[in-house]
Amino acid sequence: MLNVSFLKNIGNFALDVSFIVDKEILVLFGPSGSGKSLTLRIISGLIKPDKGFIKLNNASFFDSANGIDLPINKRGVGYVLQDYALFPHMTVFENIAYGIKKVSKTEANKNIAELQKFLRLEGTEGLYPHQLSGGQKQRVAIARAIASEPAVLLLDEPLAALDYPVRSKIRNDLIAIHKRFRIPTIVVTHDIEEAFVLGDRIAVIEEGRIEQIGSRDEVFYKPATRKVARLLAVKNIFDAVVKKVSSKGLAATVESDGFSITVNSKDNLKAGDNIEFCIRPEDIKIIRAKGEKLKAKGKTGDKKNIISAKVFDIQEKGLVHTIFAGISDDDYLFQINLPNSTYRRLSLKKGKKIKLSLPKELVWAIPCRSADKQTFI
């Protein structure tokens, strides 16, 4: 288990983070300049924090209170950079071998052969980095990091420089590597899809602070603040007033911008409370157009949270279409992401009257009200 808690000031920027990574993949997610890569550099030993500690199980990498600061080569950290950092004058075999600890030549050759097979690098051992594709270079960099048998694996934007089909394959490689070696792993990324696919847990970081850390579903579908919801592209974030609370206190009817819906909440809400709630754009359903028969839904939340709206605009975004819909003629309130097949079936166009369903179980009452009320588009 990796236990991290440190402070580092660089000019006007302060990085102040604390988290624990077990034998899992923790994704450190946030915008550029938020402190993601700096966090990895500090854990690896490339940069010394001002104070705090970095511990792996019972061993300390760094502890300002006790004067401990292990050098990089004593920390047992595998570190993969975005630009691969392969040695250009070394072959694939030599690059991987560089990370192997002092073992017999026979055992080293066996380990390298296993890694090459595992990462689909067979037949490349005699090639130099300039003869490799981007995906091959990244797999060599990963193999070199794993060959050192690290206690911790750090990956800094490992897929950012790769084409989409290659990224998808290497994401699967990273998941397979983690299942095989089961070591604390931290992946830095600003790509939402990558964070969702790779992360057992996700830490959202901005301006040097961790805004929320938790399981993938907790962070993506239950953001702790409006800021986290914005960073994770929730898009549909609303201010509302509580009108009525259920007898058990588990649900509340709220009113916002001319519409009323039911939301789930673990907070002790009462009538008159001001709250924020959100729903991801892929979770809003378009259930019918004006004049079409409404099919009965199996969930009462679906039946209650139905809103009449109008299509303001449509944007094609590769595999999905984003529908901008509103309940007045002034502006849109909702963004809905539809798979292309669903979009084609609905035959939507600007100005068309539609019905929206906001399933109650997918609407989240944000527990912490924040000062940040910026609309994130």
Whether the CB-CB separation of 8 and 14 falls below 8 Å is answered with: yes
Using the CB atoms, write b or e for 49-73: b if 16+ within 10 Å.
beebbbbbeeebbbbeeeeeebeee
* pTM of the complete model: 0.88
Give the pLDDT confidence score for residue 298 in this predicted structure.
41
Instruction: Look at the alpha carbons of 233, 236, 241, 245 in this order and tell me if their dihedral is positive or negative.
Output: negative
Q: What is the pLDDT along the chain (377 residues), one digit of tens a residue?
A: 999 999 999 999 999 999 999 999 999 999 999 999 999 999 999 999 999 999 999 899 999 999 999 999 899 999 998 888 899 999 999 999 987 877 788 888 888 999 999 999 999 999 999 999 999 999 999 999 999 889 999 999 988 878 888 888 889 999 999 999 999 999 999 999 999 999 999 999 999 999 999 999 999 999 999 999 999 999 999 999 999 888 766 788 899 988 999 988 767 788 898 999 999 999 999 986 554 444 444 443 456 799 999 999 999 988 899 999 999 877 889 999 999 999 999 989 999 999 999 999 899 988 865 544 443 33
